[in-house]
Amino acid sequence: MIELRKPYLIFVGDAEIESDAKTGAGLRDWARESCLAQHGVTEKAVDLGLPHMTPEQAAAAGARSLVIGVAPFGGRIAPCWEPALFAAVRAGMDIVSGLHTRLADVPGLAQAAQTSGVALRDVRHPRERYPVATGAKRTGKRVAMVGTDCALGKKYTALALTRALQARKVPADFRATGQTGIMISGSGIAMDAIVADFVAGAAEALSPSAAPDHWDVIEGQGSLFHPAYAAVTLGLLHGSQPDALVLCHDPKRTHIDGYPDFPIRPLDEAANIYLQQARLTNPAVRLVGLSMNTSGLDAARRNQVLAEGAAILGVPAFDPMKTPLDAVVDRLLAN
C-alpha cells in the first residue's frame, strides 16, 4: 500500500482558478491538518488560503512531501514547474503526483531524488504487486460506497461517513482507492492502476483483518453500470467483502456522464444489482443508505428528492455535504 509522508506543501503551479487545482482544494477541505503551506510558480497562481512558502521554507518548517495539487489537461508536468520540483527534492521532501506523466520522466529528477534520499511517489503508477484474491473471510467490518455512475460523490460520502463514525467514538478508517483519496488520507491503493486479475486481491490488502468493532469505510471507484469502468468496480466490490453498502447517486443525471446511450438505472434496480454482486464474497451484505449529490438544487427540491429516494429504497437518504448523517450511521451500527 502507498504510504505518504506528511505534512504537505501543496504545489499549485501556474493554475489560476481553483477548479484547475481541485486536488489541492480537496486536500485543503478534507486534510487541512496535513497541509502546511502552498507554493505557486506565478504571481497569478490560485490561492487556496494556505500560507505561501518556497520549498526551502516549507522543508525548514517541517513539510515532508510536495504534493502536486493541480491536474492540467493531458496530465503532463509543465516545464515551468521543474525548478520547484528540484528545489523540493534538494530540500529533502518527497514529491507526490497523481498525474499520468511519471515524475522520473522529468530529466534528472530521479537522480536528484536519489542523491537527496527522497522518494518520487507516482500515485497513479503503483510499484507494489498484489496477489490474486483468496475470498477468505476477514475480521472487522466494512462499508463500501457504490454508485449509479462515476464522479458523483463516492469519495466525499466515504470521508463524511468516516468523520461521522469517529465523532461517535466508533473506530473507523477511510480506505482510499483513488489518487486524491490517497493524498487526503496518506495511504491507499489506486485501484484503476491495478492489473484486472489482481484488483480483488488489492482490495483485500487495502482492508485487512481488524478488531471486531472496527469499520473500514471504503471509497468506491467507477460504477457497475459504466461501459468503460465497471470492471474495477466489480473487483473492488468482491475484494472488499463489504458488510454494508451506501448507494451514491446524482438525481440530476439521466444518462451515464459522457455516454448518452446508457441511461441511469432506477435506484431500486441499481441497489439490487450491487447487493447481488456483493453477496459473492459476503452473503450477509445489506444496503444502509442512499447518498445523493444535490448540489445545484434548492432546499425544497433537495428535500423532495431525498424523501423520494428514501421511500424507494427503504433506507436513510442524505447529502453528505448538506444534511446530517445521523440516520445512516444509526442504520449502519444497528445489528
C-alpha cell at 21: 487545482
C-alpha cell at 178: 483513488
- Tell whether the model's pLDDT for residue 99 goes beyond 90: no
- Mean pLDDT in residue range 83-96: 97
Examine the domain organization and report whether 175 and 299 are in the same domain: yes
Reported as half-sphere exposure (CB side, CA atoms, 13 A), residue 257 has a value of 14
The helix/strand/coil state of 237 is helix
Model confidence at 136, pLDDT cuts 50, 70, 90, reads: very high
Domain membership of residue 129 (yes or no) is: no
Examine the domain organization and report whether 153 and 267 are in the same domain: yes
Domain membership of residue 128 (yes or no) is: no
**Rounded CA separation 276/283 (Å):** 9
The counts of H helices and E strands in the chain are 11, 15
| 25 CA to centre of own chain | 13
Region of residue 25 (phi > 0: left; psi between -120 and 50: alpha; otherwise: beta): alpha
Prediction pTM value: 0.89
The helix/strand/coil state of 159 is helix
Examine the domain organization and report whether 282 and 320 are in the same domain: yes
Domain membership of residue 105 (yes or no) is: yes
Examine the domain organization and report whether 210 and 280 are in the same domain: yes
Which range (15-19, 62-66, 109-113, 228-232) has the least confidence? Answer: 15-19
Q: Which residue matches cell numbers 521554507? A: 57
At position 167, the amino acid (one-letter code) is A
Comparing CA positions, the residue from 241, 149, 235, 148 lying closest to residue 192 is 235
- Tell whether the model's pLDDT for residue 332 goes beyond 70: yes
- Tell whether the model's pLDDT for residue 264 goes beyond 80: yes
C-alpha cell at 38: 502552498
Give pLDDT, residue 127. Answer: 77
Model confidence at 110, pLDDT cuts 50, 70, 90, reads: very high
DSSP 8-state code for residue 52 = B
Examine the domain organization and report whether 205 and 70 are in the same domain: no
- Mean pLDDT in residue range 139-166: 96
Examine the domain organization and report whether 238 and 306 are in the same domain: yes
Last residue of a domain, one of 122, 157, 181: 122
Q: Which domain holds residue 42?
A: 2-122
Examine the domain organization and report whether 200 and 308 are in the same domain: yes
Give pLDDT, residue 193. Answer: 87
- Mean pLDDT in residue range 300-317: 98
- Mean pLDDT in residue range 207-213: 97
- Tell whether the model's pLDDT for residue 335 goes beyond 80: no
Examine the domain organization and report whether 83 and 211 are in the same domain: no
Q: Which residue matches cell numbers 459476503? A: 282
**Rounded CA separation 70/15 (Å):** 7
Domain membership of residue 134 (yes or no) is: no
Q: How many domains does the chain have?
A: 2
Which tops the pLDDT comparison, 123 or 19?
123
Domain membership of residue 61 (yes or no) is: yes
Model confidence at 74, pLDDT cuts 50, 70, 90, reads: low
Rg (CA), the chain: 20
Beta-bridge partner residues of 291: 248, 318
Model confidence at 215, pLDDT cuts 50, 70, 90, reads: very high
- Tell whether the model's pLDDT for residue 244 goes beyond 90: yes
Model confidence at 300, pLDDT cuts 50, 70, 90, reads: very high
CATH number at residue 326: 3.40.50.300
DSSP 8-state code for residue 102 = -
Beta-bridge partner residues of 175: 218
Give pLDDT, residue 75. Answer: 73
- Tell whether the model's pLDDT for residue 142 goes beyond 90: yes
Examine the domain organization and report whether 161 and 104 are in the same domain: no
Examine the domain organization and report whether 217 and 298 are in the same domain: yes
Give pLDDT, residue 2. Answer: 82
- Tell whether the model's pLDDT for residue 298 goes beyond 80: yes
Q: Which residue matches cell numbers 489506486? A: 190
